[in-house]
Amino acid sequence: MLPASARLRKSSEISETMRFGKKFTSHLVVLHVRTQPNTHVRVAFSVGKSVGNSVVRHQTTRRLRHIMINELPKFQAGTDVVVRALPKAGSATYADLLENVDYAVNKAVAV
């Protein structure tokens, strides 16, 4: 589970990150990354209805959350990240999600 300090909660901050942050894509996810004057890396997840029904969306969110726990140390302090799942993410395996998120995170960290 993500610690409370690592959660991006306000919808205004999430929408600003998605609107003004840099996008890094893979086949299954899109990362929106924005640097803020914070001391923590904060993460939010966006899994829409195009991914699947409620059960599939929640399963995808849980998988992404578990993956991002291990990816947080790669980001600099003060980074806000929104992980947006693409429609194919609902039918993807955990290993496929892990590979795609890792690829997008490595692209984001390299910039």
Average pLDDT score over residue span 22-42: 93
Looking at residue 38, what is its pLDDT? 77
Close Cβ partners of 64 (under 8 Å, ≥ 6 residues apart): 29, 45, 47, 83, 85, 89, 97, 101
Q: What is the pLDDT of residues 8-24, one digit of tens each?
A: 999 999 999 999 999 99
- Report the alpha-carbon distance of residue 99 to residue 79 in Å, rounded: 21
Domain map (residue ranges) of the chain: 4-110
Tokens for 19, please give them.
């609107």
Q: Which amino acid is at 45?
A: F
Tokens for 95, please give them.
């290993």
Beta bridge partners of 52: none
Looking at residue 75, what is its pLDDT? 94
- Domain over 4-110 is classified CATH 3.40.800.20: no
Please say if the pLDDT value at position 1 is more than 90: no
Looking at residue 11, what is its pLDDT? 95
Q: What is the pLDDT of residues 36-92, one digit of tens each?
A: 887 899 999 999 999 999 999 999 999 999 999 999 999 999 999 999 999 999 999
Looking at residue 23, what is its pLDDT? 97
**H-state helical runs in the chain:** 11-20, 54-71, 94-110
